[in-house]
Amino acid sequence: MASPGSGFWSFGSEDGSGDSENPGTARAWCQVAQKFTGGIGNKLCALLYGDAEKPAESGGSQPPRAAARKAACACDQKPCSCSKVDVNYAFLHATDLLPACDGERPTLAFLQDVMNILLQYVVKSFDRSTKVIDFHYPNELLQEYNWELADQPQNLEEILMHCQTTLKYAIKTGHPRYFNQLSTGLDMVGLAADWLTSTANTNMFTYEIAPVFVLLEYVTLKKMREIIGWPGGSGDGIFSPGGAISNMYAMMIARFKMFPEVKEKGMAAVPRLIAFTSEHSHFSLKKGAAALGIGTDSVILIKCDERGKMIPSDLERRILEAKQKGFVPFLVSATAGTTVYGAFDPLLAVADICKKYKIWMHVDAAWGGGLLMSRKHKWKLSGVERANSVTWNPHKMMGVPLQCSALLVREEGLMQNCNQMHASYLFQQDKHYDLSYDTGDKALQCGRHVDVFKLWLMWRAKGTTGFEAHVDKCLELAEYLYNIIKNREGYEMVFDGKPQHTNVCFWYIPPSLRTLEDNEERMSRLSKVAPVIKARMMEYGTTMVSYQPLGDKVNFFRMVISNPAATHQDIDFLIEEIERLGQDL
Amino acid sequence: MASPGSGFWSFGSEDGSGDSENPGTARAWCQVAQKFTGGIGNKLCALLYGDAEKPAESGGSQPPRAAARKAACACDQKPCSCSKVDVNYAFLHATDLLPACDGERPTLAFLQDVMNILLQYVVKSFDRSTKVIDFHYPNELLQEYNWELADQPQNLEEILMHCQTTLKYAIKTGHPRYFNQLSTGLDMVGLAADWLTSTANTNMFTYEIAPVFVLLEYVTLKKMREIIGWPGGSGDGIFSPGGAISNMYAMMIARFKMFPEVKEKGMAAVPRLIAFTSEHSHFSLKKGAAALGIGTDSVILIKCDERGKMIPSDLERRILEAKQKGFVPFLVSATAGTTVYGAFDPLLAVADICKKYKIWMHVDAAWGGGLLMSRKHKWKLSGVERANSVTWNPHKMMGVPLQCSALLVREEGLMQNCNQMHASYLFQQDKHYDLSYDTGDKALQCGRHVDVFKLWLMWRAKGTTGFEAHVDKCLELAEYLYNIIKNREGYEMVFDGKPQHTNVCFWYIPPSLRTLEDNEERMSRLSKVAPVIKARMMEYGTTMVSYQPLGDKVNFFRMVISNPAATHQDIDFLIEEIERLGQDL
């Protein structure tokens, strides 16, 4: 626990994530905030930077904490005569909040103060002078703070402090220089929608308990199916807890379509089933096969070309091989946007093969699905309209807050038949409304988190054209990066040619390695470069980008851009930072 | 779409959920809010009820929307001279928000205005004079509003309106008279924590991207295992997307423990596995068996006594029967708190049988786990410490916002071995910190939503004793309800005796049925009573309680209490309301 004297309100100085190195940041933030004449900026500034920002003016006679307990007035008069709230959180507990009698006042103050902390975090997230991460090793964090759970309650001052501490050590996933994952960025409308979702605190079980959200899921999934290209947007689907589960759903439904008796009888009653996916596909296909009782040995990995695309002739060869052994090919999962290379499998050729051999065609477009929003780039998914099912994660390329993953199915009713258990104690059949909106029984989950609202509200706010602009911009930035480094000294591309998605895969070769022959020693040394640079990036907190080995290729950087805050300058910065941190290696 | 003239800001009158019937509510809310001298209440009141609340004072010359575009000043001077913000949302779009240049000001205003809408919803949720739900049939909602997604963006005024519309038709799950689900109530600290989680917008994949949340999961799961009674809190676990998935995990891990080869070889390589659970258990056991390739036929439902508890002698008989057929019993799932009756299976007797036959013992304490927090009631789960795995959903009896479900496993490392795929491109093995905190590969999911923070922060704020007080109070309320109706005219209990959990199951017998003989016609008429009363409840919006048939018992009410806002008066109200709405049937 931070010592009480470190002061709950002195966020600007307590937070070492950038302000301590740039003592002007807090003040600069305040100056920006104060331009906002309506009071919110002033209020935030006064609340969060407190007297520390203006010791001379305030006279400094009041200790910071005492001052801080008063929510600052939002008016512009300095000094003003507005009366102050005097909510002393040190004497308040959760039991003083709603639904307690007279709980309104402390509740509104508490939630507003939490919100002030969050708003400051949001603003800081986009500030390039703050760190992406204030990194500490696990043991450091465990030792520095007492995170343990106890019998007795803590007061609300402590609770607010925990909120600040948690955010202090969080990754700023919206930071313009955060490139670490396929999901980056922080969308303001999506964030607002997620706050609303939390406040509504319901789940997608039935229309009865989530009327609007159930309708919005219906509307949104239909729209996504239209974009995939299924006639009239017909079909089925669900928002699931992530792409891995969406892929598992696809596998389950494909199996059920071919052998419906598997539901009652299990895998013992069906022949040996074989799934096919590329060697660059996501590991969730194997996880799913393990879970579903199919077994990882029954997932055949198809060879890829040097760009990471599945080779259709190898797919056909392996299908025939399986059939010759008496096994039953039941699923091909093509990938539209692989995790590392961003490759798009040739969907039309895969569709032809699936048609020929009557195999369920799934497309894992968790990462690449976003390109369907772009008239310029959607051709990369040509053939997706021939799929039987598609995984598409709006929380990746479309910047929707985590989690938001859709599984779309072309045939209606199949999901329901596959998963329903007719539990009449959960899904009463004599309710007074149209029961087709009670979608709970087609899910594997019982209660299901509301993941649709943030996507729906963002779609309303941006329009399809707004998503298109975002996708086009990110792909343009990736091409910019590719163009910078393809001929730059000290860089080697992992594969040739322009990126098809925003994945740019490359090695940085430090000066000491540039003259070495291409032998094992060089490979061994090169494999250690990216991890060291990444560790240094995290310790400085300046930027974050992923690295990994793949097949026979030693650790390389995989740059991905889905962050709407990133600019050409941020790409330039990344390159400079890699060189700054790696030149001595 | 609501006509523009209906006015985004005129929430008080637009919202028919109570205010239109009780025109004084909005004003009353304002009066409460204005007591809060710091400005937040005033501001909210001015923003949300706008000029409508004081037409005479404001002169009424300004149209409501124009007035509303100005964020009200928070000072107490009326009229005040503070300058106003003039953020005109009708001219702003998502693209004007951060990370746009000069995006701070509109972003702070927009997010604050969303927050104001949410705060008003929160306050209204606890107001008994508002409706629990403003019910509309699916077709009505679909016709009344245009929910469709379009190419072009909408402005922020429209986005804010959507937030209001969505909440207008939402269930107020925190309302003191909402008893419909096992998860009810709206905890203020949990809500704040969920907002923070959304703002941090990361997932539980690795320590790298969620350092604090990963540590908090570690600390919290350990504490839960201590409470279960495993020595030193040792073991393993994960927060999963709901109890159904937690139960499925348990099934997977039990299978893997007995036949690790299933991971690679699938179910074809193992003998026929049989799972046992009671006839009152949750349907997710069958769903899980269907998904995992075990098949629903291999889930044997064990008979229950008339209180809904599994009969151990029947369990043993069915295990022997399965063994005689050459099948392999691999899992017994006992239920601690069944969905309908709230029954606790005799865990000690089940544990003895599992030990005797070397079968994995799982306890589905999704609903009953909360009672472990109570010194008075935890005896009902005696024997849970002998389980191999436990499902425990803090989002049910402990009032944590949805979703928060834990699967706890006694043996460490098993989850990891069962699920890991060693994808080095996702889980780099040469990172600079202790990789044991990268828990992603033990999950079935890849990205995993952060569900722990709301539980952890609530636990800090309430302490274990706070959860205990909540559980004890809800159980006391259930007993109060039981005592009222057990001898009251017009009620029949579904089973005799005091409730063990907060489930109180009963029929309301309308006067016209009270004198009928207990024959088929009476049963048929009785079966229609609860659905009609429930439909009327929803149309009036006064309260919500669940009903269902079970086995040979026709539709009865299942009252459950997990809502911290409920009082004795709310229980009295429920009874009166059932009688008011059902006396003519």
| ipTM for the whole complex | 0.89
Is A107–B188 a contact, with Cβ atoms under 8 angstroms apart?
yes
A541 to chain B, any CB pair closer than 8 A? The answer is no
Lowest-pLDDT range of A571-585, B72-86, B477-491: B72-86
Q: What is the pLDDT of residue B262?
A: 98
**Digit-coded pLDDT (tens) for B55-67:** 333 333 333 333 3
Q: What is the pLDDT of residue B85?
A: 54
In eight-state DSSP terms, residue A380 is G
Sheet holding A553-559, edge to edge: A178-179, A544-550, A553-559, A504-508, A491-493
Residues above pLDDT 70, as percent of chain B: 85
Instruction: Give all strands (DSSP E) within A365-413, no chain letters.
Output: 389-392, 405-409
Is B538–A432 a contact, with Cβ atoms under 8 angstroms apart?
yes
Among the listed residues A390, A392, A331, the one whose alpha carbon sits nearest the alpha carbon of residue A357: A331
Has residue A9 got a pLDDT over 60? no
- CA A262 – CA A258 distance, rounded (Å): 9
Q: Which of B209, B424, B547 sits opposite A181 (nearest CB)?
A: B209
Beta strand pairing call for A178-179 and B273-278 = unpaired
B44 contacts in A (CB within 8 Å)?
108
Phi, psi of B493, deg, nearest 5: -80, 145
**b (16+ CB within 10 A) / e for A205-217:** bbbbbbbbbbbbb
**Digit-coded pLDDT (tens) for B175-224:** 999 999 999 999 999 999 999 999 999 999 999 999 999 999 999 999 99
Q: Which of B186, B213, B447 sits opposite A201 (nearest CB)?
A: B186
Among the listed residues A440, A469, A425, A468, the one whose alpha carbon sits nearest the alpha carbon of residue A217: A440
Amino acid at B337: G
- The mean pLDDT value for B468-489 works out to 98
Is there a contact between A201 and B231 (Cβ–Cβ < 8 Å)? no
Is B531–A431 a contact, with Cβ atoms under 8 angstroms apart?
yes
CA distance B375 to chain A (A): 12
Q: How many degrees, rounded to 5, is the angle at CA B303 between CA B301 and CA B307? A: 125
- CA A350 – CA A361 distance, rounded (Å): 8
- CA A2 – CA B201 distance, rounded (Å): 25
Is B203–A248 a contact, with Cβ atoms under 8 angstroms apart?
no
- CA A538 – CA B428 distance, rounded (Å): 15
B528 contacts in A (CB within 8 Å)?
430
Q: What is the pLDDT of residue A83?
A: 39
Q: Which of A81, A431, A465 sits opposite B151 (nearest CB)?
A: A465
> Is the link from the previous residue into B79 a cis peptide, with omega within 30 of 0?
yes
CA distance B511 to chain A (A): 22
**Digit-coded pLDDT (tens) for A387-419:** 999 999 999 999 999 999 999 999 999 999 999
Amino acid at A429: Q
More confident call, A6 vs A169: A169
Q: Model confidence at A85, in pLDDT bands (50, 70, 90)? A: low
CA distance B329 to chain A (A): 15
User: Is the backbone of residue B541 left (phi > 0), alpha (psi -120 to 50) or beta?
Assistant: left
A264 contacts in B (CB within 8 Å)?
290, 295-297
Sign of CA dihedral B7, B10, B12, B13: negative
Is there a contact between A445 and A241 (Cβ–Cβ < 8 Å)? yes
B406 to chain A, any CB pair closer than 8 A? The answer is no
Q: Which of B126, B266, B466 sits opposite A98 (nearest CB)?
A: B126
B180 to chain A, any CB pair closer than 8 A? The answer is yes
Q: What is the pLDDT of residue B61?
A: 36
List, in order, residues 6 or more apart from B535 with CB less than 8 Å away: A431, A432
A525 to chain B, any CB pair closer than 8 A? The answer is no
Amino acid at B362: H
Is A292–B296 a contact, with Cβ atoms under 8 angstroms apart?
no
Has residue A68 got a pLDDT over 90? no
- CA A317 – CA A126 distance, rounded (Å): 50
Q: Which of B151, B464, B550 sits opposite A464 (nearest CB)?
A: B151
Q: What is the pLDDT of residue A51?
A: 34
Q: DSSP states of A444-481 as a string?
A: SSSS-B--HHHHHHHHHHHHHHHHHHHHHHHHHHHHHH
In B46-65, the residues whose Cβ lies within 8 Å of chain A are: none
A417 to chain B, any CB pair closer than 8 A? The answer is no
Among the listed residues B366, B399, B569, the one whose alpha carbon sits nearest the alpha carbon of residue B469: B399
B107 to chain A, any CB pair closer than 8 A? The answer is yes
Q: Which of A110, A147, A196 sits opposite B167 (nearest CB)?
A: A196
Is B153–A423 a contact, with Cβ atoms under 8 angstroms apart?
no
Residues above pLDDT 90, as percent of chain B: 82
Dihedral Cα A516, A522, A527, A530, nearest 10 deg: -10
Has residue A487 got a pLDDT over 70? yes
| Mean of the per-residue pLDDT values of chain B | 88
Among the listed residues B503, B130, B237, the one whose alpha carbon sits nearest the alpha carbon of residue B122: B130
- The mean pLDDT value for A43-53 works out to 39
Has residue A35 got a pLDDT over 60? no
Q: What is the pLDDT of residue B40?
A: 45
| Mean of the per-residue pLDDT values of chain A | 88
Q: What is the pLDDT of residue A6?
A: 32
Is there a contact between A50 and A58 (Cβ–Cβ < 8 Å)? no
Six token digits for residue B207: 């320590």
In eight-state DSSP terms, residue A300 is E
Lowest-pLDDT range of A79-93, B129-143, B550-564: A79-93
Q: Say what the pTM is.
A: 0.89
Is B74–A75 a contact, with Cβ atoms under 8 angstroms apart?
yes
The strand pairing partners of A239, in sequence order, are: A406
Is A215–B433 a contact, with Cβ atoms under 8 angstroms apart?
no
Q: What's the gap between Cα A448 and its chain centre? A: 18
Six token digits for residue A168: 């202090």
Interface mutation vs chain B, best among A246, A364, A430, most B CBs within 10 Å: A430
Q: DSSP states of A195-229 as a string?
A: HHHHHH--BSS-TTT-HHHHHHHHHHHHHHHHHHT
B34 to chain A, any CB pair closer than 8 A? The answer is no
- CA A303 – CA A283 distance, rounded (Å): 15
- The mean pLDDT value for B276-298 works out to 98
B74 contacts in A (CB within 8 Å)?
39, 43, 73-75, 82
Is B74–A39 a contact, with Cβ atoms under 8 angstroms apart?
yes
- The mean pLDDT value for A21-45 works out to 42
Has residue B82 got a pLDDT over 90? no
Amino acid at B215: L
**Digit-coded pLDDT (tens) for A200-229:** 999 999 999 999 999 999 999 999 999 999
Is there a contact between B399 and B185 (Cβ–Cβ < 8 Å)? yes
> Is the link from the previous residue into A99 a cis peptide, with omega within 30 of 0?
yes
**Digit-coded pLDDT (tens) for A524-566:** 999 999 999 999 999 999 999 999 999 999 999 999 999 999 9
Stretch (H or E) spanning B276: strand B273-278
List, in order, residues 6 or more apart from A199 with CB less than 8 Å away: B118, B121, B122, B167, B186, B191
Is B266–A267 a contact, with Cβ atoms under 8 angstroms apart?
yes
Q: Which of A99, A107, A262 sits opposite B176 (nearest CB)?
A: A99
- The mean pLDDT value for A257-285 works out to 97
Is A434–B461 a contact, with Cβ atoms under 8 angstroms apart?
no
A141 contacts in B (CB within 8 Å)?
211-212, 215
Domain-wise residue ranges, chain B? 89-172, 201-421+436-451
Q: Model confidence at A179, in pLDDT bands (50, 70, 90)? A: very high
Is there a contact between A361 and A383 (Cβ–Cβ < 8 Å)? no
Residue positions counted in chain A: 585
Has residue B39 got a pLDDT over 70? no
What helix, strand, coil percent values describe chain A, rounded to 5?
A: 50, 10, 40
The strand pairing partners of B273, in sequence order, are: B328
Among the listed residues B267, B232, B231, B268, the one whose alpha carbon sits nearest the alpha carbon of residue B251: B267
A307 to chain B, any CB pair closer than 8 A? The answer is no
**Digit-coded pLDDT (tens) for B92-102:** 999 999 999 99
Supply the CATH classification number for the domain B201-421+436-451.
3.40.640.10
B229 to chain A, any CB pair closer than 8 A? The answer is no
Q: What is the pLDDT of residue A439?
A: 85
- CA A123 – CA A25 distance, rounded (Å): 12
Among the listed residues A351, A352, A356, A387, the one whose alpha carbon sits nearest the alpha carbon of residue A372: A387
Q: What is the pLDDT of residue A22?
A: 40
Is there a contact between B293 and B267 (Cβ–Cβ < 8 Å)? yes
Q: What is the pLDDT of residue A2?
A: 35
In A486-505, the residues whose Cβ lies within 8 Å of chain B are: none
A265 to chain B, any CB pair closer than 8 A? The answer is yes
Q: DSSP states of B389-441 as a string?
A: EEEE-TTSTT-PPS--EEEEESSTTHHHHHH----TTTS-TT-SS-GGG--GG
Q: Model confidence at B561, in pLDDT bands (50, 70, 90)? A: very high
Q: Locate the chain B residue with the closest alpha carbon to A416.
A: B287
Residue B440's CB is within 10 A of a number of other CB atoms, namely 23
Is B74–A195 a contact, with Cβ atoms under 8 angstroms apart?
no
A512 to chain B, any CB pair closer than 8 A? The answer is no
Q: Which of A39, A199, A458 sits opposite B191 (nearest CB)?
A: A199
B553 to chain A, any CB pair closer than 8 A? The answer is no
Stretch (H or E) spanning A530: helix A529-540
In eight-state DSSP terms, residue B42 is H
Q: What is the pLDDT of residue A425?
A: 79
Interface mutation vs chain B, best among A84, A102, A115, most B CBs within 10 Å: A115
Has residue A64 got a pLDDT over 70? no
B100 to chain A, any CB pair closer than 8 A? The answer is no
SS3 (DSSP) at B281: coil
- The mean pLDDT value for A329-339 works out to 98
Q: What is the pLDDT of residue B426?
A: 80
Q: Model confidence at B312, in pLDDT bands (50, 70, 90)? A: very high
Q: Locate the chain B residue with the closest alpha carbon to A161.
A: B457
Is A298–B395 a contact, with Cβ atoms under 8 angstroms apart?
no
